[in-house]
Amino acid sequence: MSSVDSLVHNFRAKAEAVSTILKVMAAPVKALEYAVQMCEDKEPCQTMVSGSSTDPSNKAEELATQKLPKTIAGPALPKTQQKILKHLCESRGITFITQGLRDHLFGIDLGITYADWGIAETGTIIMDSSNEDVRLATMISDVHVAMLPIHRIRKSFIDLETELRVTMEDTPNYTAFITGASRTADIERILTLGVHGPLELHIILLKGSCGKKP
């Protein structure tokens, strides 16, 4: 097994151990098609009123029962890939947005981004999320799809010390370390997914050039 194959094997094992869904694809367009198909197949987002001891206002109740059209967010993708994704979404009746995610806090079905690095020993992806729309796409979408070129996987965090120091020196900075889908557990140790972020994390390992990262 080559060193690259070994990194991919270890990354997959660790990522899947924390409920990440991992795919290997030849090119970004395949990942875009995968994301659109997955969005089309999933149940739509629906805002719900819960945990309130008082009756909601008419406006709040109307929002809570409104089924919104499916939406994919693709902030910071290369322009050519945004154009492809927009066309794929339009052909399926899916709304595609690239900015202003604060206006869609209750209706983002899927966010698709690039990860900057991957760590094989933990199945972690690292992202510069200083851009607010990128940050929201990874936090408030039902499903987060992260594309990661295989050549940007490293064995451990130590192997990225220099790169991370350079990134974090550019302040203000928001560097995210994401390992699996969002999860939490109560005092009775009952695990719940999606409370503080996406219900699902999909990582697409790209074999070829992604048109974004060197």
b vs e for 143-174, b when ≥16 Cβ sit within 10 Å of the residue's Cβ? Answer: bbbbbbbbebbbeeeeebeeebeebeeeeeee
Q: Tens digit of pLDDT for each residue in 190-214? A: 545 545 568 999 999 999 766 554 4
pLDDT at 48: 46
pLDDT at 176: 94
Q: Would you say residue 18 lies in a domain? A: yes
109 CB contacts (<8 Å, ≥6 apart)? Answer: 39, 42, 44, 45, 70, 71, 72, 94, 141, 142, 143
Q: Would you say residue 86 lies in a domain? A: yes
Q: Would you say residue 174 lies in a domain? A: yes
For residue 173, the cross-strand partners are none
pTM: 0.85
Output the domain CATH number for residue 175: 3.40.50.10420
Retrieve residue 184's tokens.
């939490």
Q: Would you say residue 41 lies in a domain? A: yes
User: With pLDDT > 70 as the criterion, what percentage of the chain qualifies?
Assistant: 79
Q: Is 19 exposed, middle or buried (0-12, 13-18, 19+ CB in 10 A)?
A: middle
Q: Tens digit of pLDDT for each residue in 51-68? A: 445 565 665 555 555 566
Q: Would you say residue 179 lies in a domain? A: yes
Mean pLDDT lowest among 13-17, 161-165, 167-171, 180-184: 180-184
For residue 1, how many C-alpha atoms fall within 13 Å in the half-sphere facing its CB? 8
Q: Would you say residue 214 lies in a domain? A: no
Q: Would you say residue 211 lies in a domain? A: no
Report the number of distinct structural domains present in the chain.
1
Q: DSSP of 145-182, one letter per residue?
A: EEEEEGGGEESSGGGGHHHHHHHHHSSS--EEEE-SS-
**Mean pLDDT for all residues in the chain:** 86
Mean pLDDT lowest among 30-44, 73-87, 175-189: 175-189
Domain range spanning residue 172? 3-206
Q: Would you say residue 213 lies in a domain? A: no
